[in-house]
Amino acid sequence: MIPMEIHRKALKDRAKQTMRQNVPSAWLVALLFWGLTTGVSTLSDLAGFTTNLAASSYGVQFFPLFFTLLLTLYSVVMDFGYKIWCLRAWRRDEANFATLIDGFGMAGQVLMMEIHIFVRLFGWCLLPMVPATVIISSVNSLEVMVLLMELFTFALIPYLYFIRLRYALTPYLLMDRPERGAAAAVRESVNLMRGWKMELFKLDLSFLGWYVLEWGLTILAQVIFLLPTLLGILQSGATPETLLTLAAGTTAGSLVGLLLCLPVELWLLPYTGLARTGFYDARISFVPPAPPVYTYDSNR
């Protein structure tokens, strides 16, 4: 009988132990990864590379779209590289700063993996969308229609989260057996996660307090920078100057919130990454060995 439970506390304890023992330090690796992903994305937004530059020429109008696509592909491969680091660190293999760029050596397979997952998620998304669209479109009241759309959008978030759990082990399976390809890794992840999605959900849920702390710090930064401007708008009304101040405050609040959350993020990145890696290693340890292949002996 295969056990259908993974000890979350043991996984998290070993994840923290790995964070302390790995050389270089896990938080330094997380800082470099954060700078190469979130930092690059933030700087690109501030520089206007991913927004409309309000130029009339077609080439410049096309550039933000091209840069956004390029940045997305880069972030996907970098995220895969960070998972490689987590897998090596968990297994006590060599895991250093250079490991973060190992994903670029198999970037084609990584992109194919993401495409396979996206297509499957899109198909699962269509299942509730078709009947929901029929029901919402049959309502005559605009207020009720808007309410139903909001409720459907809210319900779609946990639905897609649980569907995505089917493919949670795909990156690790691709790392371990790259010769089998992305499609095989996706299919094997679906098989391995059958009956185990709730265990991974419980592991993810155990980090909820840390995420709430991050959200709280982000909201606090926004309130500090926006509250005076909002009070001024309520007292004297909106003017072009107050709207510009509000936009500047939103940007400043976002940056300060990002910096406030950075210590928590540098703890959470390796903590959650290593714990999920441990879940993968624990799950494949429950897979029974393949039966021996019978070969016919003609001499017998």
Helix residue ranges per DSSP H, the chain: 8-21, 26-34, 40-47, 58-90, 107-137, 142-164, 170-176, 182-193, 197-205, 208-236, 240-285
Compute the half-sphere exposure of residue 157: CA atoms within 13 Å on the CB side of its CA: 5
175 occurs within a structural domain: yes
The number of folded domains in the chain is 1
- Asked if the structure places residue 146 within a domain, the reply is yes
What was the pLDDT predicted at 231? 61
pTM for the predicted model, two decimal places: 0.85
Rounded CA separation 81/78 (Å)? 5
Burial-class residue 255 by CB neighbours within 10 Å (0-12, 13-18, 19+): middle
Note the pLDDT tens digit of each residue in 228-285: 666 655 555 555 555 555 555 567 767 888 888 999 999 999 999 999 999 999 999 8
**Residue 292 placed within a domain:** no
291 inside domain = no
Quote the pLDDT of residue 54: 42
Q: 91 or 140, which is more confident?
A: 91
What range defines the domain where residue 186 resides?
8-285
The verdict on residue 53 lying in a domain is yes
- Write down the pLDDT at residue 264: 94
Residue 96, domain member (yes or no): yes
* Mean pLDDT value across residues 79-91: 97
Within-domain flag for 49: yes
Model confidence at 203: pLDDT above 50: yes
Residue 296 lies in a domain: no
CB atoms within 10 A of CB 240: 7
**pLDDT tens across 33-51, in order?**
999 999 999 888 877 766 6
pLDDT at residue 37, rounded to an integer: 96
From 117, 85, 127, select the one nearest 103 (Cα to Cα): 85
In terms of pLDDT, which residue wins out, 4 or 267?
267
